Every structure is written in structure tokens, then in C-alpha cells.
Amino acid sequence: MSSDIKDIYSRNLDILSEIGNIGAGNATTALAQIIGNKVNMDVPQVRLLGFNELTEIVGGAENIVIGIMCRIEGDLTGMMMFMLEKSAANHLIDIVMMGFDDGSEEEFSEMKLSALHELGNIIVGAYLNALAGLTGLKVIESIPHLSIDMAGAILSVPAIEFGKMGDEALLIESRFFEEDRAVSGYFILIPDVASYDTILKSLHIG
């Protein structure tokens, strides 16, 4: 059994890219259906990053981001996080609420948060459905939880899980484009150590 994340990364880069591609592709389609507009997607980047590099990609540890996270149970166990920058979140909220102003002074009113929560639910669900379809494994996700806070604090949650295996985190970065506007989102799939083998075996390469 291989439990070193570096080793998993270097030996399975193609597979991990493909998981990212199919997962994010499905999530993008789901997103396009909600907002009723074409959403394009870059080829996802799979990256192995040191813990400090991880926070740099989203503008530094103190940059405020939105994290949407759910637990995964079933044949696979672990967690899944979808993270996006505040500007991207606001853009998506605007589209979903069709410019409706709920009159709230707060940057993220209850209604906006609720919209964001639902978007997160759909995006994460679509990603995991694709993963389940690809591997034939049963993937059950919990209700997603949302946090708006400093990137370092939000990323500490997946970083700690990766920290149990080594000193790097595996990140699948997907960028969406809605019309001309780039909306960057980051998917972080964190299977428990044993679940990496389950995924790879299900694809007959374990």
C-alpha cells in the first residue's frame, strides 16, 4: 500500500488529472444549467504544493475566501472542498439572484449565503457524482458546510488531513469562465489514506 502523497502524485498524475477533468467538467455543466449561460472551463491543473504555497495560490493566508466543504462516506471516505475567492462568489451570487437586491447592508446577507450554499451543494455534488460514475464506487456526501474566513484558516482543514500523510497537499485547480469573466474555483479532494488505493484499484491501476 502506498501512503506517500508524493508517490501517489508522481505515479498517477494522468489519472488524477482525469478525475479533475471529469469532476470539474460535470460541475461546470451543472453550474451552466443554474445560471442559464455558457460556462467554459480550463483544463484542470493538478498540483502538489507545500503547505505555505497552498495559501499563496489564493492570494495569501489572510485573503478572505469562501470554503464549502462536505464529508464523503461510502466506498470512499474523506472530504471534498470547493473554494473560491470573494469576488468570484459575489459574481455567482449576482447571477443566481439575477441582480435582485435584498436590501441588506451586509456583504453576505443570509439570502446571499443561502444562494451560495446551494451553489456549493450543486457544484460539489456534481463533482462527486462524476467521481462515482468514473470509478463505480459508492460516494455519499454530507450536507456541505460553508465558511468565509482567511484562506490560511480555511485551508488548515485540508492541510491537516494531508499533514497526516506528509508535507504536501494535492490540489486540483479548475478555472471557470462565465462569458468573458474568469471565475476561479479550487477543488480539493481529500480521500483518507486508504481511499487513494480504493480509487486507483477501481480504475484497475492500483
Partner 1 sequence: MADVIRVGMADLNICKAPDSITTLGLGSCVGIVLYDKRNKIAGLAHIMLPDSTQIRNNSNLAKFADTGIDQLIHELKTAGADIKSLTAKIAGGAQMFSFSGSSDLTKVGDRNVEATVQKLETLRIPILASDTGKNYGRTIVFSPETGLLQIKAVGKEISYI
Is residue 148 within the footprint of partner 1 (CB under 8 A)?
Answer: yes
User: From CA 141, how far away is CA 82, in angstroms rounded?
Assistant: 13
Is residue 160 within the footprint of partner 1 (CB under 8 A)?
Answer: yes
Q: How far is CA 188 from CA 70, 104, 110, 156, 203, in A?
A: 11, 32, 26, 12, 20
Part of the chain binding partner 1 (CB under 8 A), chosen from 17-25, 27-35, 116-124, 161-169: 161-169
User: From CA 82, how far away is CA 67, in angstroms rounded?
Assistant: 6
Is residue 25 within the footprint of partner 1 (CB under 8 A)?
Answer: no
Part of the chain binding partner 1 (CB under 8 A), chosen from 109-117, 144-152, 173-181, 196-204: 144-152
Smallest distance from partner 1 to CB 129, Å: 21
Instruction: Closer to partner 1 by CB, 3 or 40: give it.
Output: 3
Part of the chain binding partner 1 (CB under 8 A), chosen from 96-104, 116-124, 152-160, 173-181: 152-160
Is residue 79 within the footprint of partner 1 (CB under 8 A)?
Answer: yes
The DSSP secondary structure of 132-181, one letter per residue, reads HHHHT--EEEPPPEEEEEEHHHHHHHHHHHHHTT-SEEEEEEEEEEETTE
Is residue 165 within the footprint of partner 1 (CB under 8 A)?
Answer: yes
Beta pairing, strands 78-85 & 45-50: unpaired
Instruction: Enumerate residues 6+ apart whose C-beta is below 8 A from 114.
Output: none
Is residue 140 within the footprint of partner 1 (CB under 8 A)?
Answer: no
Beta pairing, strands 145-150 & 64-74: antiparallel
Considering only 25, 157, 177, 184, the residue that binds partner 1 (CB under 8 A) is 157
Considering only 167, 179, 181, 182, the residue that binds partner 1 (CB under 8 A) is 167
User: From CA 146, how far away is CA 154, in angstroms rounded?
Assistant: 10
**Binding positions for partner 1, rule: CB under 8 A:** 3-4, 51-52, 54-55, 60-62, 64, 67, 69, 71, 79, 142, 145, 147-157, 159-161, 163-167
